[in-house]
Amino acid sequence: MDRLREMAIRYSGLAWHRRWWGVTAAWIICVIGWMAVAAMPNQYEAYARVYIDADAVLTPLLRGIAVESSLQDQLDLLQHMLLSRPNLERIIQKTDLQLETTTQTDTEKMVERLATRIQVIAQTRNIFSITYRNPSRQLAADVVQAMLASFIENKAGDNRDDIDRATAFIDGQIATYEKALRAAETRRAEFRKKYIDLLPGDAGTNRLEQAREQVAALTGQLADARADRALIARELASTQASYGGGGGVVPDQQVALRAAQDRLRQLLQVYTPAYPEVITQQHLVDELRRNPDKAAAAPGEASRPIANPIYETYRLRLTETDERIGSLTRQIADATSERDRLAQIAQGVPELEAQYINMNRDYDVVRRNYDELVSRREGMRISDAAQKKASNIKMVIIDPPSAPQVPVAPNRVLLAVAVMVAGLGAGAGVIAAMLALDQSFQTIADLRAMGMTVIGSISLAVLPMSAGARIRQIGLFGAAFGLLFVVLGGVLVHFAHAV
């Protein structure tokens, strides 16, 4: 602890002896720094804000029809275009910045400065700010105005070359596919015309299959008709043709009525009430009910036979069934002949359906690609028209370009304080450097540490006048630093009023 105290006292004394070097260094740094801060030009910041979003009417209207690009991609492209070299060169030409560029080298440097000083910042997803600083307030506002004008000009995206190239490519592909489509349609039509009877129709079946199905259906109908004929023939054989005659006995009227009713019930089990035979039998039953005497022989006519209506009905049905069997037989013969003809043609062209399916598959692929290309070309045309006559991007200027009267930089008050801190640090650094370079011995211990024999030492006796002189020196030192702070206060007041 005593060692530290001794060192502190030692270095304090050395620093005190070199105090004026530190004060001088602080004054030099502060004066030069304050003059440099005062000479710094004012920087005025021009500012503008715009709101960009998809058009609320046009964008939904074109969705799924025109070629779409995301809004975020378009906004990213706009930001890069605004800070591109060609755009910055146009801004230099449109403003007074061109007065500062007399050579190509000056233009290069100006473009680099603009690229770093112009800031296009996305504050939110749809709000962008454009800022630029310049010593000239009017020039700063002009640059931001030029940037905003360029922003508006390029908001729809300069993709005319891309659209033209894509349109030319698609037109060429459409022409190629159109030729292939016509050739495929011609081959398909010729093949279908040649083998129309054997190719599937709209229902998915060909005429050979239809002929086979028709033969099978007619054969089934013929079998049913023959079964009906056999049944009718049995019924006809078991029914007598007439009543009475040859001295026979006239049947009772109730017997004839019951026989007619039984036949009606049999018919209703097979046919509907609207069937002609059912209607005829029903009329017979009604007639027997109204005139029961018709079932019996009149006086004096007992020897004359009476025709049995049921028998006549069976015989009529048997005749109709024979006619139907003959018609079905002829139809089966015709259908069988057509089936055999188509089967013979099919045997001569194996795998016909497979060839037709492959041909249709190739045609469908070409047709689908052709339709897709035509659809895309129409979408590109609509997109091109929308970009020429309307924009699917909505832009609103929130804050028009303006430059405040008060400069935003430099902050001279803060810089003046920083210069003061730097001056004091420079003064302390000068004293510290001088102490580090000091090679003198201050105490007997320093000599003894060097291995030297020390006989004795002479102390400094401070006389009363010397004490007064020291007080004056302390006062002068304090005044020097105090005056430095007073000057700082004046500088701060001056800078504050200048703003």
pLDDT tens for residues 350-387?
566 667 667 778 888 888 888 888 877 777 676 666 55
Tokens of 412: 């001279």
Gyration radius of the chain over CA positions = 60
pLDDT the model gives residue 34: 93
Assign residue 132 a region (left: φ > 0; alpha: ψ between -120 and 50; beta: otherwise): beta
User: Model confidence over 97-116: pLDDT tens digits?
Assistant: 888 888 888 888 888 888 88
Average pLDDT over residues 119-138: 83
Task: For the chain, give the percent of residues with pLDDT over 90.
Answer: 7
- How distant, in Å, are the alpha carbons of 151, 389, 469 from that of 90? 12, 25, 72
- How distant, in Å, are the alpha carbons of 21, 29, 122, 422 from that of 478? 14, 18, 54, 19
User: Model confidence over 138-161: pLDDT tens digits?
Assistant: 888 888 888 888 776 765 444 555
CB-count burial class (<10 Å; 0-12, 13-18, 19+) for 314: buried
∠ CA 463-465-470 to the nearest 5 degrees? 95
Better pLDDT: 140 or 17: 140
pLDDT at 474 over 50: yes
Q: How confident is the model at residue 248 (pLDDT cuts 50, 70, 90)?
A: very low
Nearest to 197 by CA among 361, 353, 355: 353
CB atoms closer than 10 angstroms to residue 213: 13
Assign residue 91 a region (left: φ > 0; alpha: ψ between -120 and 50; beta: otherwise): alpha
Better pLDDT: 459 or 215: 215
Q: What is the pTM of this model?
A: 0.44
Query: Contact at 8 Å (CB) between 318 and 231?
Result: no
User: Model confidence over 218-241: pLDDT tens digits?
Assistant: 898 989 888 888 888 887 777 777
Query: Contact at 8 Å (CB) between 118 and 46?
Result: no
Worst-scoring range by mean pLDDT, 226-235, 364-373, 391-400, 470-479? 391-400
pLDDT the model gives residue 247: 42
In three-state secondary structure terms, 287 is helix
Q: Give per-residue burial for 396-416: e unless 16+ CB within 10 Å, then b.
A: eeeeebebeeebeeeebbebb
- The domains located in the chain, with CATH, are 2-40+410-498 (no CATH), 44-156+391-402 (3.30.1890.10), 208-348 (no CATH)
Q: Read off the DSSP letter of residue 48.
A: E
Q: How confident is the model at residue 415 (pLDDT cuts 50, 70, 90)?
A: very high
**If you count DSSP H runs as helices and E runs as strands, how many of each does the chain have, helices first?**
16, 6
Query: Contact at 8 Å (CB) between 491 and 416?
Result: yes
Tokens of 327: 């018609």
Query: Contact at 8 Å (CB) between 17 and 470?
Result: no
Q: Tell me how far apart the alpha carbons of residues 145 and 167 are, in angstroms, rounded to a whole number.
A: 36
Average pLDDT over residues 40-68: 64
In three-state secondary structure terms, 239 is coil
CB-count burial class (<10 Å; 0-12, 13-18, 19+) for 232: buried
Query: Contact at 8 Å (CB) between 118 and 83?
Result: yes
In three-state secondary structure terms, 227 is helix
pLDDT the model gives residue 475: 83
The answer for residues whose C-beta is within 8 angstroms of residue 285's C-beta and 6 or more apart is: 257, 260, 261, 264
Average pLDDT over residues 281-291: 80
Task: For the chain, give the percent of residues with pLDDT over 70.
Answer: 68
